[in-house]
Structure 1
Amino acid sequence: MNQNANSTAQPNLSVVDSMAQLSFLVHGILGRVGAEHDLSIIQIRLLGILRDHEPSMLQLAQHLSLDKSSITGLIDRAARRGLVERIPSPTDRRGFQVRVTDAGRKLIDESGEEIIRQLSAAAGVLSEDEQAQFAALATRIIGAGSTP
């Protein structure tokens, strides 16, 4: 039985169960794609942030919900792989920002394409209108989840 047929046979789940199951699905996709590129899920999240930004170490720690020593270790490991580099902060003489390198950008592009392909396939069971509605609803939930 293919995944689409299996997913339509699922009983209706509660909102909480649906969100949890969707989280497991996305987490699984990120884990599999990450493993293909020797990346952990937290490293994928890091590269996702760095794709469009050059945040400070503190901003990264906040975005990833990590403490200072954990973010330092994460950046150190990524730097040893040649994926990121620290650059002096233009606003804080003692601070650094993190920037993706060319090698990191290549990895972002390769892994990102596969993540998009697999997530799009998962969302393919929805019509275009349902996908737009889902995106709007998920955006609202995410926005509400960021406030205490």
Structure 2
Amino acid sequence: MNMGSARHPNELSIVDGLVQLSFLVQSILGRVGGEHDLSIIQTRLLGIVRDREPSMLQLAQHLKLDKSSITGLVDRAERRGLVERIASTSDKRGFNVRITSAGLQLVQAGGAEIERQLHAAVEVLTEPERSQLAVLASKIVGAGPFAGKDSS
């Protein structure tokens, strides 16, 4: 036992804590997305396009997928009427992706449920602890190797 890092018996290490927290968030995203017949990656796609119209390349960068994967992802969402391709104003051969009203309704319904479940997950924390968690999470995400590259 390492005496330099004495922890409560039920307290996770920083690595285990972050991994378990990630699993919890991914589980919520997967469960709520599944209720709307969306995979986690489709949920993330809609989260990205809900308030912007990225190019296919920008989507690939945000989602860390290759071009063919993005094309298939957008094709499936477009067939469901959740997004539409629009001509790019900066690239005559390119397209941007815009959310449709049906997609926006799905984002609003699913987003409200995701928010409710995430708030329920942090109910064990006091209000000052929740505020501190928000500050720390923002600091970690903002300083990480992908800072500013994925806001979904």
**Same fold by TM-score greater than 0.5:** yes
Deviation, structure 1 residue 143: 1.7
Work out whether 1:25 is the aligned partner of 2:24. Answer: yes
Residue 64 of structure 1 and its aligned partner are, at CA, apart by: 0.2
Q: Which range moves more in the overlay, 10-19 or 43-52? A: 10-19
Counterparts of 1:92 and 1:86 in 2: how far apart (Å)? Answer: 13
Shift of the alpha carbon at 1:146?
Answer: 2.8
CA deviations 1:27-54 (Å, max 9, x no partner) are 1111110110000000000011111111
More helix by percentage: 1
Structure 1 counterpart of 2:13: 14
Alignment-mate amino acid for residue 16 of structure 2: D
- Give 1:95's aligned amino acid: G
Question: How many residues end up aligned between the 2 structures?
Answer: 140
How far, CA to CA, are the matches of 2:85 and 2:91 in structure 1? 13
Map of 2:57 onto structure 1: 58
1:70-125 CA deviation, whole Å, 9 max, x = no partner? Answer: 00000000000000000011111111110000100010011111000000100111
**Aligned-partner Cα distance in 1 for 2:98–2:146:** 28
One-letter amino acid of the structure 1 residue matched with residue 87 of structure 2: P
Unmatched 5+ stretches in structure 1: 1-8
More moved, 134-143 vs 70-79: 134-143
Equivalent-residue separation in structure 2 for 1:89 and 1:145 (angstroms): 30
| TM norm structure 1 | 0.90
The aligned counterpart of 2:135 is: 136
Q: CA deviation at 1:10?
A: 7.3
Q: Which residue does the alignment assign to 1:145? A: 144
In structure 2, do the counterparts of structure 1 residues 34 and 95 end up closer, same or farther at CA, with 3 Å as the change threshold?
Answer: same
* Structure 1 counterpart of 2:94: 95
* RMSD (Å) for aligned C-alpha atoms: 1.5
Q: Deviations over 1:114-148 (max 9, x none)?
A: 00000010011111211111011111111222359
Unaligned segments of structure 2, at least 5 residues? 1-7, 148-152
Letter in 1 for 2:50: R
2:80 pairs with 1:74 = no
Q: Which has the higher contact order (CA 8 A, sep 6+)?
A: 2
Structure 1 counterpart SS, 2:52: coil
Cα distance in 2, alignment partners of residues 73 and 114 from structure 1: 27
Which consecutive segments of 4 or more residues in structure 1 shift more than 2 A?
none
Give the counterpart letter for 1:54 in structure 2. E
Instruction: With the length of structure 2 as denominator, give the TM-score of the two structures.
Output: 0.88
